[in-house]
Structures are given as structure tokens and as C-alpha cells.
Structure 1
């Protein structure tokens, strides 16, 4: 098989257990040390503690290994290019060395300023009654213009969207306003913390003088510093594309289309400088040829997220999409998986390591017995057990059928 089948696990407090992941058919876990503040060194002791937790029952059941770090976060000072970035870059190098010493060789990261992935609805009801993640540009404008009230935000929206956003806000209840605010300000996956509205504008202001060119320069500087170390110790770094792949809140995003990936690969042309191929993030844009990107950059793709997004039609052509079932939506999953089956065979023929690429099903629907769960039993949005199990089962069948046909 081309893929090492994995699932993301957020640690001991994740309601989706390691047993659940094992019984889903996975042999790998994608995890991170969320308890360590961004920018601090991941020590060998903390890494080993997580490994031991993941492998605790390997003597009894199908072995699980910590296959991928997702993610080793990049400090905001690095993204902003501040003098203090040098300290955080050195810490990053040390963490990479420590991970390598513990046998973990794939590290996912992203370079999105301030926010990670963004949605406007975490409980969008699908026709079958399951719940999905959704993004509506008009709703995001409502937050930006009427809740955050970001200075000069109007420049980012058409007059039609501004009118719709303000009209919608006038009709929203306090509960609906709070729901939209909390959804947009949701923190990093795996964290129960969210940004505070009162201080959020200050975080954006830190990027006031950082545009597209400056952010690219800071990204390339970072990768030129850390990728040689990763190459030396045998770690593959893989950047996650922007989600959604477009500027938000006046912040630039520079990993959204194929040319962005090409420029980054050229900025530090070593194998360790690679890509997390996320079909959902890249697939939101119709101008991204997913199967083509997988073929052209296959040798630099170290980690794969398979999910399908569906762009929704609107009369004013605004961006609206939701997380579809894994084999539907706008992603030609057959063509994408076929590209990776071929890439795996190519690696085998060339005698390359990493013939089997870590893959995880991403952003499953909340469904079946996961629907009524609340409190500590409710999983992080997009990461319920049953929705991802369904996705993995479909993807596993698709991969097997393609393998047999070639």
C-alpha cells in the first residue's frame, strides 16, 4: 500500500482514544506536544513520554507508532521577522534534533499569521443529518466588519458583501453573534483556548507593515535556516497549505497555490524541505490542479491529508465551501490517490526511503453516536472518531482498488 494509515491524536485529553485509532485500522499516530508553549524546546524527555504513551499497549495489540508531528508550531516572531526570531529558530533546530534522536522523522508545520485554519460554522447540517465544517465569506465579513470592526476592513470586501454582512448582523441574536465570534476566534486544533476579541486586533496590528513579499521573505529565511538541520538529522519538514487558501483579516497568506509551493521548494532545494499535501486546503481553489500538483511535487510530499471540500454556488460568486464526504466534493480523490500510488511505486523502484507516505483522513463529519456527545466527551471540530473512520474506510478501499488495477 502507498500510504501509512494514521489519525490525528491530540493527547491524553482527546476523547478519541488510541484504542479507537488502532481499531480504525491505523498503525500510525499524528500528534504534538500541545502543552509546551510555542517557541520552547521539545525536550527528549517530553518526546519520549509521548512515545511511551502511544506505544503503551503495543505488546498486547496491533502496534501504534508516533508517525508524524503535527505540528511543531512556528513562533509568531519568526513569521514577523523580528530580531528575536533567531532564538526561536535555534529552539526549533534543537527540537528537530531531539525528535530525530527519538526516531520521529516527519514534522508538519504551517506559516499562517495569527490564525490557523478558519471556519464560520462548526455545525453545518448535511442532508443526512451529520454535522460538517463550513466557511461563508459573507459571514466572515460580518465578523470582520461588525464584531471585530477592524480598521479599513471595507477594502477587503465588495460593496455587495458589505451590505449583506451588515444586514445580516442587524438580524442576528446575541447568541448568534457570540457563536460566530467564538467560531472565528477558535484556537489551534488540539487547544481548548480561543483568541480574546479585546486583544485580537492588537495581534493583527503586529502585521501592519508585513505584506505578501515580507511574509514570503520571512518564510524562506526560516526554511533556509532549519531545513539543512532537518536534512542532516534525517527529518522531513512539510508545510501545510493555507486554510482557506486566501488572505484573511488583512493578513497575507503565501502557501495557497502551486506557484507558492514551487517558490518555497526552490528557496531551499533540499529533500527535507517538503510539503504536507492537503486536498481540502488546496482544493478550495478551482485553479489548483490537485492531481497534477501531486504528480509534479510527489518527491517532495512527505505527508498527506485527504479530505474533500465542496464549493457552493452563490449569486455574487463569494467563497462558500463545506467539508464534503471524502469521496465526493470538488476533489477528484481517485486521481489524487492514483498519483500517490504511482509515487510510492516510483520511490520503491529508485530505492528511496519513505516508500510509504503517512496519510490521515481529515475533517470527518460528526455523525452517529458522536452527535449527542457534549463536554469532555465531544471531540474537537472535524476530528470525531466515526466521521474519520468512515473517511478512512472509503479511502482504504479506493487505494486498494487502484493498487490492484495498476
Structure 2
């Protein structure tokens, strides 16, 4: 498995020389400064690739080449947006980058309510609190339909939190929910979020699936021609949110996606944390079921609460059996090598580490600290090394 590290380029407080000390050899990055829907120019791609290579890395995965919201909504004449997307793909392939991680989450990327929830023995983690999300939806956003999305107990706790929350508490909650949006883009305020949600009125699960199928039909043939691999990232959290449907949340969803355009180029980013936050998901079983279409892996762990809340656990703790998951990925790599595939190795990265020691003072992107991810990578590396040892393989 190829040890990799997500790097936000000029937006990142962590430098490439610091990343080199983690032992990772692959970089996962993107042109975060380019607005959604515009073409990624070859010279800009080459400049990032050259910078990454000069520091001793390979640019192994693009995360992400974002999909414009109009494509997700199926809105208007999309021919120019699809053409721009395919041109960006061609430019990436021309510069030697062939794996693209992306998501099809409407409007928001990953969503958390707390960016610094305390962890036992010190440090902090990302947390999704169902009561705080309910407080935001019901009492700040004013989305009355959200009552049906939460239990009476969660709604009661949400009301109690909102009644005692200060204006600063509410602003902190809004900033936390917006923190998953990457790059240099403005975050929504409450009014802006309402306006964005209104654009999705009438778009349910089947309509969003139809728009997703159209996207795949537009880009996967180009990916095949370019020798590229696409890998969809699961929803985070893996549930409908803010009244928006989520359609990449479980094994049934993944099966539909991979069958919608049945091609080796149409694959999966196996995100253990995103899938692990859904109580119905057996993540190692999902990895085994879709093994041949896994092109990239995010290895992290979560601990779930009965009310729908969850938080980031240490990489080898939490609810997902990380050893079993890594074993499944190593088995798939072995199968690929035995079949003669040149691209047998699966790149992975440690994801959403805890803020430990002086991580908080550095001010890195939420969920992407240096020391916390270094700890996670070291733990994962140990599992990979142990499972790969001849004594274990027998």
C-alpha cells in the first residue's frame, strides 16, 4: 500500500519538508484556488507536480476535481461544464496524474458540529453531534421539516442547547458546519445557506441519482480513453442532511454507482470513517465486496453514539476493525499482482487525525493536523507491515 498524505498547497500550514519526515511518499492534492467549473490549465498542474516532485514525492491522487453544483442539480445547458471537466481530466493525464477522487455530496462537503471536541488524556477531535445539528437546522436555519429527521430526545436536547447558547456559540456552530468546504471559497452564512438549499427544492434521491448517472456517462468514457481512474468518496456523514439527499452512503449505493457505468475506471475511494459512521455498514465487508474497484483509501476510524452522533477515534480504535480492513486491501493488492496488473498498489492516507501536542497552535485545516495524522500513519504502517510479514502470511 502506498503511504500518502493530503496537502492543501499554498493553503496548508504544513510544509512538504515536514510531510517528508512522516515517511509518506505520495501527495494527495488539488488546485484548490480554481473555481468550480473552470478548466485546470496544464501549466498550473505541472507547477504543482514539479513542486511535489522536487520535495521527493509523487502526486498520486487528485482530491478533488470538484463537480459544479449545476451538474449535481441537472440545471440548464451543462455542455460547457462537462467539456471543461473533461479538459481538466485531459490536462491532468498529460502531466502524469491519473487518479481522481471526487464526491457527489450536494452543496456541502464533510460536515461536523465540533472541530475541537475533547479527547480522553488530552487533544481534540472532530465530532458530529446530532443534537447540535438539530439545533442548527431547527432553530438557526428554521427548517421545520427537520423535525422528522431527529428523535424527540434529540430535538429536546437541541432546544435546550439553543436556549442557553450565546451568539458566539451559534457562530462557532455555523463555522464548524462550514469547515468542510475546501480551498479559498467563502463559507455560507445562514441566509446564504438557505438560498443554496432552495436551489435543490424538488430534487430528491432519484433525481440526484439521475444527475449522477449523467455525470458518469459524460466523464467515464473520457477516463477510459485517458487511462484514468475515478473514485467516488462516500457521503460524510452518510445520511441525508439539511433536507438534501445523500446517495453514496452504503453498499447498495456503491453497487448502484459502479453499475451505472460499469467500467474499471468507475471506482471507489474506500473511506473507512465516512462509511463507518453509518450503523448498517460493515466496512471490511464493503471493502471485500468492491475490492477490485477500490482505487484509493482513506483510513480513519469513528466511534458512534446511539442518537446518531459520532466522533473521530484514534485510527486503530473506534467501531471499525481496522486490521480486518487493511487485510482486505492487502488481499486485493496480492490478487492484482498475481493477475499481472501494473497498478496493483492502492494509495492510502491517514485521515482526520486528532489534534495532539502543539497541533492546535499550528492552525492547520480542521481534521488535518501534523502530529495527529503522523500518529495515525505510524499505527497504520505497523498494521500493514505486520500483516505483510512472512510469519503472518504463512
TM-score range, shorter chain: over 0.9
> In structure 2, what is the equivalent of residue 189 of structure 1?
182
Question: 1 CA distance for matches of 2:371 and 2:302?
Answer: 18
> In structure 2, what is the equivalent of residue 50 of structure 1?
48
Are 2:258 and 1:257 equivalent residues in the alignment?
no
> In structure 2, what is the equivalent of residue 60 of structure 1?
none
> In structure 1, what is the equivalent of residue 15 of structure 2?
17
> Is the 2:63–2:101 contact (alpha carbons within 8 Å) kept by the matching residues of 1?
yes
> Structure 2 stretches of 5 or more lacking a match?
none
Question: 1 CA distance for matches of 2:155 and 2:319?
Answer: 28
Are 2:125 and 1:143 equivalent residues in the alignment?
no
Q: Secondary structure at the match of 2:249?
A: coil
**CA deviation string 1:303-347 (max 9, x = no partner):** 0000000012xxxx4101110000000010000000011101100
> Is the 2:108–2:180 contact (alpha carbons within 8 Å) kept by the matching residues of 1?
yes
Q: Secondary structure at the match of 2:112?
A: coil
> Is the 1:75–1:88 contact (alpha carbons within 8 Å) kept by the matching residues of 2?
yes
> Structure 1 stretches of 5 or more lacking a match?
58-62
**Mapping for residues 22-101 of structure 1, pairs under 5 Å:** 22-57=20-55, 63-101=56-94
Are 2:362 and 1:337 equivalent residues in the alignment?
no
Task: Report the number of matched residues.
Answer: 391
Offset of residue 259 of structure 1:
0.6
RMSD: 1.2
**CA deviation string 1:56-110 (max 9, x = no partner):** 24xxxxx201110000000000000112322211111111111001000110000
Offset of residue 164 of structure 1:
2.2
Offset of residue 12 of structure 1:
2.2
Change (3 A) 1:17 1:192: farther
TM-score, length basis structure 1:
0.94
Question: 2 CA distance for matches of 1:290 and 1:160?
Answer: 29
**Mapping for residues 105-144 of structure 1, pairs under 5 Å:** 105-144=98-137
Higher alpha-carbon deviation: 284-293 or 331-340: 284-293
> In structure 1, what is the equivalent of residue 371 of structure 2?
386
> Is the 1:303–1:357 contact (alpha carbons within 8 Å) kept by the matching residues of 2?
yes
Q: Secondary structure at the match of 2:331?
A: helix
Question: 2 CA distance for matches of 1:137 and 1:176?
Answer: 16
Segments ≥4 residues shifted beyond 4 Å: none
> Is the 2:7–2:27 contact (alpha carbons within 8 Å) kept by the matching residues of 1?
yes
Question: 2 CA distance for matches of 1:380 and 1:13?
Answer: 8
Question: 2 CA distance for matches of 1:9 and 1:113?
Answer: 24
Higher alpha-carbon deviation: 220-229 or 182-191: 182-191
Question: 1 CA distance for matches of 2:71 and 2:114?
Answer: 30
Q: Secondary structure at the match of 1:12?
A: helix
TM-score, length basis structure 2:
0.97
Offset of residue 187 of structure 1:
4.8
> Is the 2:11–2:183 contact (alpha carbons within 8 Å) kept by the matching residues of 1?
no
Question: 2 CA distance for matches of 1:398 and 1:230?
Answer: 33
> Is the 1:153–1:249 contact (alpha carbons within 8 Å) kept by the matching residues of 2?
yes
Are 2:285 and 1:282 equivalent residues in the alignment?
no
**CA deviation string 1:354-387 (max 9, x = no partner):** 111110000001111213x1xxx41011101110
Offset of residue 181 of structure 1:
1.6
